[in-house]
Amino acid sequence: MTFTTADLFDEHGAAMASVSLQFRNFGTRTEFSGPARTVRCFQDNALVKSLLATPGSGAVLVVDGGGSLETALMGDMIAQSAMDNGWSGVIINGAIRDSVAVNTLPLGVKALGTNPAKSAKEGTGGVDVPVQLGSTTIWPGAMVYADADGILVERRNPAGGSQATTDRATTG
């Protein structure tokens, strides 16, 4: 499937939320999409590693790392695992490491930056919970579209009910 986020937004407008955080692109796939799987963690990548070691079936892992650039939440070995297990891409509100090696993999990766420091491995956080990227809420199962211009997320809550995905949407 070939798309651009600009064309998707023009076509679907209010059905899409645009993530305003500015991410860097890593990996050789700048365009990727799929249903969201989510992880909320802070300077601890155990949940990221364990989830990316399972079949991804074309999903996009969205990680809310609290925007921390103090430690990396993914490196080349975890990225390789994601690729080997059929994940479409990974979006990290935080840092990665081993960026030179990650940039050789046919995987879509967006992160705020890089840091060579390892994270904790305690497994704290949550899996398949709503996560925030800036003012946008991403629900597990929501379709995510990413390219060089940014990230779009469908506004609806796939589990049912309405979803407030941006401050503008919640304030009317």
Annotated binding site for substrate: 75-78, 97
Which residues make Cβ contacts (< 8 Å) with residue 31, sequence separation at least 6?
Answer: 2, 3, 4, 108, 146, 147, 148
- Binding site: residue ranges? 75-78, 97-98
Residue 15 near residue 151 (C-beta atoms within 8 A): no
- Binding site for Mg(2+): residue ranges? 98
DSSP-derived secondary structure letter, 44: B
95 phi and psi angles, rounded to 5 deg: -110, 155
